Amino acid sequence: MLRPSALRAAIVACCLSVTLTLTSCAQAPAPTAAPPAPTETSPTISTPSEVQPTDAVADEALPGATFNAFFPEAQDGLDRVYTQEKAGFAEVKLKRDGQEVAKLAISDTVSTPAAAQKFADATETIAGYPAVTVGKKQTAILVGGRFQVKAISVAEDFTPENRSTWLEKFDLNGLSQLP
């Protein structure tokens, strides 16, 4: 029998899937004389030196939904809740008893080359990929020279060791095979 929190998470995931499916099937509006300039910006978890608010997502950036299959399954008493998905980016929150303890994210650095560049001098690795610590609450790896995978502590007890462990739980080999 499912725990109430697991049941809620399953219901939310199903509702999110239906909503995403229905919105993706909606008819696009008729084009206007001059299409608006792109307004989508890079993920908010990037460091200020990586992304400026006016940076647009590159046309080559993979859809955020592409990344969902590579996130680790819910485990260790934590529920996985998909919270954000847009071109070049997807994010999951890890929750324990309804409280957010961490965020996991995958971003396509094709839109933010500075995000990939910071791994050039990395002296550490996680699962064989270059790793960096960003501030006190983020650990990131660069997969396939293109995809930044981050674990971000929200709760104080989600340690750097927890972040490394969760980064290793991603399907990193599968992610590295993306074009």
Cα–Cα distances (Å) from 82 to 4, 13, 27, 95, in that order, read: 18, 7, 25, 11
What pLDDT score does 3 carry? 56
122, 113, 123, 127: which is closest to 175 by C-alpha? 127
What pLDDT score does 53 carry? 38
What pLDDT score does 4 carry? 55
What residues have CB less than 8 Å from 132, skipping those under 6 apart?
118, 119, 122, 124, 139, 140, 141
Intervals of the chain under pLDDT 70: 1-55
Domains of the chain in start order, with CATH, are: 52-176 (3.40.1000)
- Tokens at 88, concatenated: 């070049």
174, 127, 173: which is closest to 151 by C-alpha? 127
CA-angle at 19, arms to 14 and 25, nearest 5°: 130
What pLDDT score does 57 carry? 81
What pLDDT score does 138 carry? 97
